[in-house]
Amino acid sequence: MVCAGRTDTGVHATGQVVHFDTSSERSRRGWLLGANSSLPNDISVTWVKPVDDDFHARFSATARSYRYRIINRLERSALYRERAWWVYEPLDANAMHAAARQLLGRHDFSAFRAAGCQASTAEREISRIAVQREGDWITLTVTANAFLQHMVRNIAGTLVAIGLGERDFEWVGEVLQSKDRKAGGIAAPPHGLTLVSVDYPASFEIPPAVDYGPFAAGC
C-alpha cells in the first residue's frame, strides 16, 4: 500500500490518497464497504476507483496542501482539543500572513526540516501560503510540490512567534536564509495539522478532496 504522503503521529488527513495492486475483482461499492468494515473507526475510505498501472499515489502527485488550525482565545476548547493548537495570547494574523509570504517560491527549507528528515534535498517550492483569521480561528494554508518532515509544523511555530510580537515579520526570511533549524521557532503541535488535498494530472481523473466537519474553513 502506497500513500501520497506520510503524516506524523497526531496529524490528520481529509485528502490522503492511497494506491495498491490487486488481482481481486470487486465492484467499487464492494471495495469501499469492505475496506471500511476492516478499518479502525478513525480511518474511513471515501471513494475508490481503478487506475492505470502508471499511476502512483506518491510519485504521480504534483502538489500537496496542508492546513494548520489555531484556536486563539482565552479559554481552551473541549471539542477541538485534538484538532487545533490552543494559543490563549492574542495573535496578529496580519503580521503572520505578511511573514509567511516570504516563503513563496523555490527555496532551500533546511531551517524548517526535522533533524531526522531523510529527504535527499531540502529544496521545495511553495506555490501558495496564507494565514487568515475567522473569529477565534487562525488558519495557515500551504501548498507545495512536496514537504519535508515537520516542515509545516515548524513554519507554524515560527509564525506564531511573530503573531505574539516576539519577533518582527522579517524574521522568517532570516530563518529561511540561515538554513539552520535552530534559528527558527518551535515545532507546532501535530494535532493542529491536516493534509487536505493532493493534486494529480487531470488524465488520472482523481476525485477532488472534500473538507469535512471541524477541518473545514470557518468552523
Q: For residue range 42-51, what is the model confidence (pLDDT) as tens digits?
A: 999 999 999 9
CA–CA gap between residue 192 and residue 70 (Å, rounded):
7
Helix (H) or strand (E) holding 142: strand 137-144
Gap between the Cα atoms of 33 and 46, Å rounded: 10
SS3 151: helix
Is the pLDDT at 218 greater than 60, yes or no? no
Could you tell me the three cell numbers for 206? 482523481
Mean of the per-residue pLDDT values for the chain?
Answer: 93
Look up residue 198 and give its amino acid.
V
Which pLDDT value is given to residue 219? 37
Burial class (CB in 10 A: 0-12, 13-18, 19+), 219: middle
As to burial, measured by CB atoms within 10 angstroms (0-12 exposed, 13-18 middle, 19+ buried), residue 207 is exposed
Architecture of domain 63-195: 2-Layer Sandwich (3.30)
Q: Does residue 112 have a pLDDT over 60?
A: yes
pLDDT at 212: 59
- Give residue limits of the domains in the chain: 63-195
Higher-scoring residue by pLDDT: 116, 84: 84
Write the pLDDT tens digit of every residue in 80-93. Answer: 999 999 999 999 99
- Burial class of 119 by CB neighbour count within 10 A (0 to 12, 13 to 18, 19+): middle
Task: Return the C-alpha torsion angle 150, 132, 130, 143, nearest 10.
Answer: 60
pLDDT tens per residue, range 146-189: 999 999 999 999 999 999 999 998 999 999 999 999 999 999 99
What are residue 53's phi and psi, to 5 degrees? -65, -20
- The answer to whether 137 and 69 have CB atoms below 8 angstroms apart is yes
Catalytic residue positions? 8
The model's pTM is 0.92
Percent helix / strand / coil, the chain, rounded to 5: 25, 20, 50
